[in-house]
């Protein structure tokens, strides 16, 4: 069995009216599985379990809303030197391109920045 990082994507869907933006969450979860397809199946089950509207009480921007499972964006095998994840295990990574060094500095500070996401 290996350990995988699964990037599960969900989004907020309004129950009324028009929707011009989509708040999106990407949650990275740790999964133990025998293969990447098995990890994907487990990740999809986890993502579907996150769907819902908190028994009708969920609101976003004062509008009734729900969380919808969009899919699993990627499955990565954790780079590990032992049987189980531990200190310094690489769980996940992302690769993207920025236009300039100023954008890099903003990214590091946690400020909004436009980027090209590479897969």
Digit-coded pLDDT (tens) for 54-75: 999 999 999 999 999 999 999 9
Separation CA 17–CA 62 (nearest Å): 12
Q: What is the pLDDT of residue 27?
A: 94
Element (H or E) spanning 119, and its range? none
**Token couple for 29:** 């979860």
Digit-coded pLDDT (tens) for 27-63: 999 999 999 999 999 999 999 999 999 999 999 999 9
Beta bridge partners of 95: 118
Query: Domain-by-domain residue ranges, the chain?
Result: 1-78, 90-119
34 or 85, greater pLDDT: 34
Mean pLDDT, range 106-119, rounded to an integer: 88
Q: What are phi and psi of 75, to 5 degrees?
A: -125, 125
Separation CA 98–CA 113 (nearest Å): 8
Q: Write down the mean pLDDT value for the chain.
A: 92
* pLDDT at residue 83 greater than cutoff 80: no
Separation CA 119–CA 67 (nearest Å): 25
Residue from 66, 41, 70, 46 nearest 56 by CA: 66
Q: What is the pLDDT of residue 80?
A: 75
């Amino acid at each position: 069995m290996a350990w995988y990082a699964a990037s599960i994507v969900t989004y907020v869907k309004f129950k009324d009216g028009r929707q011009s933006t989509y708040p999106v969450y990407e949650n990275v979860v740790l999964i133990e599985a025998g293969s990447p397809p098995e990890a994907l199946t487990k990740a999809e089950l986890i993502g579907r379990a996150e769907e819902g509207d908190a028994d009708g009480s969920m609101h976003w921007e004062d509008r009734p809303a729900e969380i919808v499972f969009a899919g699993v964006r990627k499955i990565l095998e954790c780079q590990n030197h032992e049987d189980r994840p531990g200190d310094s295990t690489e769980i996940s990574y992302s690769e993207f391109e920025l236009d300039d060094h100023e954008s890099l500095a903003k990214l590091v500070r946690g400020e909004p920045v436009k980027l090209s996401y590479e897969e």
